[in-house]
Structure 1
Amino acid sequence: MFENNMAMYSRYLTELTLAFHIIFATIGVGVPMMIALAQWIGLKKKDPHLLLLARRWARGFVITVAVGVVTGTAIGLQLSLLWPNFMELAGQVISLPLFMETFAFFIEAIFLGIYLYTWDRFKNPYRHLLLLIPVVIGSSMSAVFITIVNAFMNAPQGFELTNGVITAIDPLKAMFNPATPTKVAHVLSSAYMTSAFILASIAAFRILRGSKHAYHKKALHLTLGAAFIFSITTALIGDFSGKYLAEYQPEKLAAAEWHFETDTEVPLVLFGYLNDDKVVKNAISIPYGLSILSNNLPSTEVIGLNEFPVDEQPPLYIHYLFDLMVTIGMGLTFLSTLYLVLVKWKQQWIYKKWLMITTSLSGIAAVLAIELGWIFAEVGRQPWILRGYMKTIDGATASPHVDVLLVVFAVLYLALGIGSIIVLRKMFKQNTAETELKELGL
């Protein structure tokens, strides 16, 4: 019972850390891309509004990077302290991407510092833009290497386990496991998409508050245009992720869709509820949807959850996580599409109050979708921490006082969250874009 409690608290603490860190990690991956887009287009069009946009985004980005470093360090410590059995087993195999992630972050941090302190110091401004390329690459590769570790937990390979002893270790095979392509692509695309919607929500909020300056309108146009592209790619990659699950983690897909009996021509079930007999009620059913998601054909056979032992089945509530994530993603795609349609045919409707309110909430919605996606990914793997090799309860620490650590870190994250909001608010409230533009004579 004691070990069960410690495993439970270890899970709670890890979940809390990941839930908090993922916000800043997502911004850390996506915002450099948006800064690069704004500066590149600004230089190309000789647009001072877009150049100032890049400059202001870069200032705010530094704050999020600082918080991300703290929470990222906490995750590294917690892997060793809370999950020693897992690290003893998996650390021998998957340590290479963890090591490489450190170098990716070093590249990002070094060039970010140089980039920030060399504004207006190059006769050719394109040379300054070149300094941002390592920042974009470093931040994205940092996400790639960490996601590879997570992919390995879902589809472990590159080693042999005999009587508890690991042999025949192949780090590259472990890194390039079947889960890696779809997970890495989905993480990067969704991070770019989420960051675009966060920045779009800021621009929409300023317009909603009465600002009619071209600066905010150009920010809205740039961010929603990028959001449209990345939301489409995220949806396409999500389709590939469904096919990966059907082949390699069928129990996860079955639990997410409340699909219990192996069958063909299986519908896709959205929302609803399960009665006592595990019959789906009041759901939206899309004919052949799950079969098509699994392998593009209505006749595709989809493995049911009853094919797996009860103690190896994921919790059924992941169905709602999956549905909410997909629903939010579809809503955001529709929002960005609607904006571009209005730009083309009904420009007088672009800044309507209802559209600006919806857009100002899109950043929160995108972050929520990211959180739901990660919870679905992690809980959907349960009861395994290393699928097929080690269950979560066996990977956790048996040391006491994890419950105390949970409280301490909760207070820390609360302080970091509030502190970062206060700093960012003061940073931009006391030095508004309008003020800077007046100083530039714009």
Structure 2
Amino acid sequence: MKGGTVQINWHDTKPVLTLDFHPFSGLLATGGADFDIKIWKVESEAAQKKIPTASYQTSLSYHSSAVNVLKFSPSGELIASGADGGELILWKSHLTDAGQVWKVLKTFSFHRKDVLDLQWSRNGAYIISGSVDNSCIIWDVEKGSVHQILDAHLHYVQGVAWDPLSKYVASLSSDRTCRIYVNKPQKAKGVERMNYACQHVIVKTEQQSADDTKGLKNHLFHDETLPSFFRRLAWSPDGSFLVVPAGLYKSSPESESINTAYIFSRKDLSRPALQLPGASKPVVAVHFCPLAFSLRGSNSAGFFKLPYRLIFAVATLNSVYIYDTESVAPLAVLAGLHYAAITDIAWSPDGKYLAISSQDGYCTLVEFQSDELGSPIPFPDGKTANSHAGETPSQKKPEEMMVKAPVKISPVIEKNRIDNNKQASPAAISTPVSSKPAKRRITPMAIDP
């Protein structure tokens, strides 16, 4: 693994607020406070120990305010971008004699204030967006119109995520709630129409006092004082679980809150199944590597009962943790990369690159060597993630989850790789895992495909 902050003029030294990789070509798109979207070609630097490079390709200029979020469509033919003032624009790719160009296809108008996050449906027919106007809107892409408004949040909606199996959407707000909506289709004139209804509102978890006689409820998420406009939650590529940032955890009513991210199992989205080890700063974004990897046989925790490994990155305000579903400890911790808050993270479609954007105006590119993360494999039987839609996972009870203490991270890239054939020395591994289990506060569940 090699990487670092690429010292180029990404967005005229203005904050870089969002980024995403094209799902096939691997081109990187970034959006910033200079009102522009820029397209970059990411390449490996041949010289040893050199970080990857990004070469400028083109700019997409139409927004009249800071671009907070952008996402390529699943087909790669479109880009949806959201900005301050409620701007939401759809761009379409065109091939010309001069090469590929992106032109404005549609503008979606209904949000009254800044659009902070958006996500495509798996088939590319719909987009969900979240805004400072406290609402989520589901858009019909072909019609360019509002399909449904979800307006129950009481404060900014800072993160939205669309279930890859198309049954759920999720939203996260600075009103300290995560809302899970389930599709309950409605029929009108013989036509079935997609309709999402709120199924769960996740707000608090019950804590027991030292004598176990009095139950207290504590908030699971940060309030509006969190110094970030983004709480980018994410579903796993197979839809088996949802990872939610901006978490707060108290091991006892008397203890201080710990920053964390919560993992929700698809079979019970009403409460967290697991929590990630504590971080020194609040978690602001989660992003999954789109590939599945073969098992390494190192699963001792038993929380994920998957026939493959999934890898995901969790960004705090000042660091990035890389996890897989077979280890308790992170595979790697990236810290000390930026002088200002991290805003977004994205994986390339081949899992080779991880890109990180920051308010300091720069982006970090991390390159993984061949098979460093593991051996990529197809989803079982060659199926896509959609194949799991009708499956009902069996519930298993793993051992009690440990409460992890916050970690102090040095300003370097640390590699904590779990290898079956080699045992790393104690000095080489700095894992954020406590040696003693605390009393159970969140009952963990096994997470199956």
- Report the TM-score range of the alignment, normalised by the length of the smaller protein: under 0.3
Structure with more of its chain in strand, by fraction:
2
Structure possessing the higher relative contact order (Cα contacts under 8 Å, 6 or more residues apart): 1
Name which one, 1 or 2, has greater alpha-carbon Rg: 1
